[in-house]
Amino acid sequence: MNSKNELDDKVRHIRQNELSIRELIEFLDSKQIYIISNTMIRVVELKIKNILVIEKLQNLTQYMGARYTFAEGIGIGNIAMASLSILNTSDSLNAYHVILENLKEVDIQRIEKAIVILNDLTNTY
């Protein structure tokens, strides 16, 4: 991605729900944190629960830590974990609980915050 305008255009398409499910799933592979985070919000909001989404979210959980953080210590990995929890399928919950077992308390607290934030953003209570 070469320009801020291109990034802004992609995020606008995500937020305005102008992308197909296939395109959203592809955006989960982006290298841009802003695109990934907005895509995860849209995936949860649209309740896209297919196994490919679960696998991609599971892969994104590895991105915890300062390098991947964008708000209150919460980053891509925390939002991915929150997404797995909120999607609430047997596959997503299994992945969530397996990963949760190996996390530090600080990451667990950030995931709990991320769940609240994601629920607020997507109205998925």
Give me the average pLDDT of each 10-residue run along the chain (125 residues): 80 94 97 95 96 98 87 92 98 97 95 95 72
Q: Cite the DSSP H helix spans in 28-104.
A: 33-46, 51-60, 76-87, 90-100
Determine the pLDDT at residue 124: 56
pTM of the model: 0.91
Residues forming beta bridges with residue 71, ordered by sequence position:
74
